[in-house]
Structure 1
Amino acid sequence: MYKKLTKAIIPVAGLGTRFLPATKAIPKEMLTVVDKPLIQYIVHEAAEAGITDVILVTHSSKNAIENHFDTHYELEAKLLESAKHDRIETIGKITPPGINLISVRQPEALGLGHAILCASHIIAQDEPFAVLLPDVLMYHPKKGCLAQMAENYERVHTSVIALEQVPDDQVHKYGIAGVQDPDLRINQLIEKPKLGEAPSNLSVVGRYIFTPRLMQLLKTTKPGVAGEIQLTDAMASLLNEEVMFGYEFKGGKSYDCGDKQGFLQANVEYALRDPVLGKQFQAYLKQLDVASFK
């Protein structure tokens, strides 16, 4: 029986080794794009899609994430005393209205599939759920990626996976979906295929809406590559039982913020879009002599 999508899992237990030394003491999800940490953008995207319960699958070193969304009475009192009302308003917007944040621990780094399983006791057996990877930032001027996918889910009532075209010579870096046009029904999933073995150039981009069956399949999925429980393996099993659709994110842009290049691009482009900083930053970039930096 169809149930409304209200819960989302955000796996944040990874150690972010690609950003060392910055992430030695700071969770990678707390790295900022302009003036907000990555995780704040992700939680707001979930809220925009109608999610009410956000489940953070976390690690003992990630307390800063939970603290970011908690109330800081001393800071607010100090800002109020200094009449810095604009800053009080800013921190008041950190957690979207109506969002219930729940934290669970992933005791061992046993893969993305295992991280999702750590939240299984919060997801009812008949309940759909979303998964958002915090490394992937999805910009849209009006309606975010998960909100678009949720609308599609309301029509098809089955799993919906975000897809994005990548250059052919880059398919070996991503999970790739084979699809049937024109509705993007997925018929194949391959993790990091060689160029000649890729069924398409459509990569799985870090946003998922799953039927309840996916969680059940994860519980019986055996460890795969590196001894980890792979989400892709459970998704492949789900394909044998249910219809699964891809969804191409429309009118926006994704940023792989788990990669230094993608993270820097996100900072530049979000700064250019900023209503306060944008014009000044654009003027700075125009006068910048790039060739002088060696």
Structure 2
Amino acid sequence: MVPATLSLVADIGGTNTRVALANAATVRVDTVRRYRNAEFDGIGSVIARYLTDSGQDASGISGVCVAMAGPVHDGVGTLTNLDWRIDKAVLAEVLSAERVAVLNDLQAQGHAIGNIAAGDLDEVLPQPQVPDTAAKLVIGLGTGFNACPVFDTTAGRFVPPSEAGHVSLPTSIAELHPLLENLKDSGGYPSVEEVLSGRGVSHLHTALHGETIDPADILARIGEGEALACDTGALFVKVLGDVAGNLVLSHLPFGGVFLVGGVTRAFAPYLEQFDFVGAFRSKGRFSGFMEQFGVSVVSDDYAALTGCASHLSRA
């Protein structure tokens, strides 16, 4: 008999969607499948394909939770980089599930905290001992940029959504000032995401050196010690440290800061080289105060799926 706790979880990115089954808060890694979004007209058809491919009977699934890269309001979300509308009601129809949820992808990452194996957490700054209920902060760099606080309360875990990637770039970094004209989005606004994202790496390199190349090539050149690429990497990490420090002062996550996403993982080997900690703690008379916050890089690529499962298990 299929366990009553069996749920379906999905993580929708700009290019691919990953779908899996979960028992309570545990994702069954052997059930994870990846689908190219361009081959489907929406999440409903992806789920239908998954059920066919996996041989799973929809009637055995009691919950469904989808994480998506875009803002979510009242169970409805539109992806930032994909023309799909994710509707809580539509998901309930597809699976006839009792429990249905739509989360922003960073919210899902926030719900995963506490369910990530220690081996998938790479320490950047040590985490002081604090109560389990201390606030936490998740910062994600991938196709875009976002961040969200995580609060554990007597009523349960609360992970409010945000669109932190669309605040303006910090004015405290003098090296950015001559580059701002070339770091504006299509609306003429220099947002954090125009630097701290996959495309942002290329934007920053072009603004610095007049050379437009793929972010993966820039990372490869950094690994080889190429001077221009290292200049780009150093400024990227300085902006990341400064922005992360600003977010910490906004939310006071004494329970730790968790850096997630593909771009984060790509830059993780260079955080020490380019002095992330120095930029993170450089807050004037509050620089000493910043020593209270631990920082880790999450290397678990399935964290958003785990967060979806964890959220459903608490519902």
What is the TM-score with the length of structure 1 in the denominator? 0.29
Question: Normalized against structure 2, the TM-score is what?
Answer: 0.28
Q: Flag the structure with higher helix content.
A: 2
